[in-house]
Amino acid sequence: MHSFAKDVDSAAVDLVLGYARDRLLLDPVPLDRPRARDELDAAAGATITRTGLGARRALEVFEQTLAQACLSTDHPRYLSFIPCAPTREAAAFDVVVGASSIYGGSWLEGAGAVWAENEALRWIADLAGMPPTAGGVFVPGGTVGNLSARVAARHTARARAARSGTGARPFRIAATDNAHSSVVSMAAVMDAEVVEVPVDERLRMTGPALRRALEEHGPESFFAVVATCGTTNLGVVDDLASVGEVCREHGIWFHVDGAYGGAGLVAPSVRGLFEGIEHADSFIVDPHKWLFAPFDCCALLYRAPELARAAHTQQAGYLDVLNEAADWNPADYSIGLTRRVRGLPLWFSLAVHGTDAYRDAIEHTLAVTRFAAEEIRRREPLELVREPDLSVVAFRRLGWGPADYQAWSDRLLREQQAFVCPTSFRGEVLTRFAVVNPQTSRDDIVMVLDTMA
Ligand SMILES: *Cc1c(COP(=O)(O)O)cnc(C)c1O
């Protein structure tokens, strides 16, 4: 299958790359929608067969059936969850990554690609004001990033407790109830306990509330504090400066989850909200969210990468050749070993466009979000839940119950107008826009709001 019939192979490659090219240049993209299992069974038929369908037929099944049953997260009115709207250059370069068979776990095997990924990580570390020694790795997503950082934090705290001979075995994490679902689910994976820090009237974690929570449970029982800069549901940025200060006071690892909102570091109009992030012991941001990279890509950075290496480096005879070298091996900084060089599409797009273009694109999404907030305030039956900090705006339609939101959302998708799901906050069903796609325009916002009159 690999070595025969080069001409047949090249026809298949041409077909597939031709499809990729067309999709990359498509404008507008279709929103599309899910289909039921039995509809897909009927439309696609048997695809895994003894003799194979051949490239043309297999691609046809994908193009005419399967692709149309997947939402385009880069559609300008895909406003649910956190969309993913890569630059064309980043998405195109993902094809190169797939074509190049690069192993991204070690310097020995992937030096050139790892060098480029590290350049992109350096840009992010500089935005956050982390020291020159900071470094990390691109992992699949914020969930894995949050987990890996906290594994490093716990390893560090336990090693220190062991050295001090106190017998302490830190097992707690402090976070607010606005923290991402993965903070709690990965705590379960780690068998760690999450202590909830009450939020202030702006829904933020603050230093004083954190101090009370730590003191109530005993600061020595904590190995990490997880602050968020841009919560997923409402876009809240915690008060990183006062939270970081309390972490330093108690010698507790300060992790900042910026999976969604960390990209706001690039935007001068909101940079002030991130003050204090320079003290983070670890920080994540998902370029597949608001930094225009394709799935799946999370930048994980450590202030002192050697602490992460101590926690994560895998040991085995066949890995000695890697571990005995003084090289930068990305696999040493997170859970997992084999890795795709998933930071390369971001690197390529940054190299092509320059960082000013990122600043401008993110400022544009912020301006559209502020316009949306303005429109919501202006429209009689609508009400903002909270002034947006970043590019998420949550709001309610007065007089609607959960079923109304769902019926409205279903209709928008059925009619291929938009993808805007209900969400809930403190038990109340409402809805939200997450604006991370620079193609989302003021007209798109007006069009969706007009359906809520
Ligand atoms: C999206 C998100 C995560 C999880 O990231 P994945 O890439 O989906 O694993 C974690 N934290 C925050 C704040 C997020 O918005």
Condensed to tens digits (0 to 9), the pLDDT of residues 400-428 reads 999 999 999 999 999 999 999 999 999 99
| pTM of the predicted protein model | 0.97
The contacts of residue 246 (CB under 8 Å, 6+ apart) are: 207, 210, 211, 214, 225
**Closest C-alpha among 425, 130, 392 to residue 255:** 130
Residue 96: predicted pLDDT? 98
pLDDT digits (tens, 9 = 90+) for 96-109: 999 999 999 999 99
Most ligand 1 atoms within 8 A of CB, residue of 181, 189, 260 to mutate = 260
Residue 343: predicted pLDDT? 98
Question: Regarding the domain delimited by 95-353, which CATH topology (the fold level of the hierarchy) does it fall under?
Answer: Aspartate Aminotransferase; domain 2 (3.40.640)
pLDDT digits (tens, 9 = 90+) for 177-190: 999 999 999 999 99
Most ligand 1 atoms within 8 A of CB, residue of 80, 143, 228 to mutate = 143
Cβ of 238 closer than 6 Å to ligand 1, yes or no, is: no
Q: Which two tokens stand for residue 88?
A: 């064309």
- Write the residue with the smallest CA distance to atom 5 of ligand 1: 142
- Write the residue with the smallest CA distance to atom 3 of ligand 1: 142
Q: What is the arithmetic mean of pLDDT over 203-212?
A: 98
Most ligand 1 atoms within 8 A of CB, residue of 286, 300, 392, 432 to mutate = 286
Confidence label for 166 from pLDDT (cuts 50, 70 and 90): confident
Q: What is the arithmetic mean of pLDDT over 199-227?
A: 98
Report CA(97)–ligand 1 centroid distance (Å). 23
Q: What is the mean pLDDT of the chain?
A: 97
User: Residue 76 CB: number of other CB atoms within 10 A?
Assistant: 23
According to DSSP, the residues that pair with 383 across neighbouring strands are: 396
Q: Which two tokens stand for residue 430?
A: 């409402």
Report CA(4)–ligand 1 centroid distance (Å). 44
Cβ of 391 closer than 6 Å to ligand 1, yes or no, is: no
pLDDT digits (tens, 9 = 90+) for 55-96: 999 999 999 999 999 999 999 999 999 999 999 999 999 999
Cβ of 259 closer than 6 Å to ligand 1, yes or no, is: yes
Cβ of 257 closer than 6 Å to ligand 1, yes or no, is: yes
Q: How far is CA 228 from CA 204, 218, 232, 285, 398, in A?
A: 9, 22, 9, 11, 29
Confidence label for 9 from pLDDT (cuts 50, 70 and 90): confident
pLDDT at 4 over 60: no
- Pairwise pLDDT comparison (62 vs 6), residue with the higher score: 62
Q: Is 42 exposed, middle or buried (0-12, 13-18, 19+ CB in 10 A)?
A: exposed
Q: Is the peptide bond before 28 cis (omega within 30 degrees of 0)?
A: yes
Residue 7: predicted pLDDT? 61
Residue type, 187: A
Confidence label for 319 from pLDDT (cuts 50, 70 and 90): very high
pLDDT at 244 over 80: yes
Residue 5: predicted pLDDT? 60
- What residue spans define the domains of the chain? 6-30+34-70, 95-353, 355-450
pLDDT digits (tens, 9 = 90+) for 270-312: 999 999 999 999 999 999 999 999 999 999 999 999 999 999 9
- Contacts by residues 309-315 (CB-CB < 8 Å, ≥ 24 positions apart): 309/333, 310/152, 310/155, 310/156, 310/159, 311/151, 311/152, 311/154, 311/155, 311/156, 312/148, 312/151, 312/152
CATH number of 355-450: 3.90.1150.170
- Write the residue with the smallest CA distance to atom 14 of ligand 1: 259
Residue 125: predicted pLDDT? 98
Report CA(180)–ligand 1 centroid distance (Å). 6
Report CA(19)–ligand 1 centroid distance (Å). 30
Q: Are 84 and 289 in contact (CB under 8 A)?
A: yes
Cβ of 176 closer than 6 Å to ligand 1, yes or no, is: no
- Pairwise pLDDT comparison (8 vs 183), residue with the higher score: 183
pLDDT digits (tens, 9 = 90+) for 340-395: 999 999 999 999 999 999 999 999 999 999 999 999 999 999 999 999 999 999 99
Cβ of 292 closer than 6 Å to ligand 1, yes or no, is: no
| Percent of the chain whose pLDDT exceeds 90 | 96
Report CA(53)–ligand 1 centroid distance (Å). 38
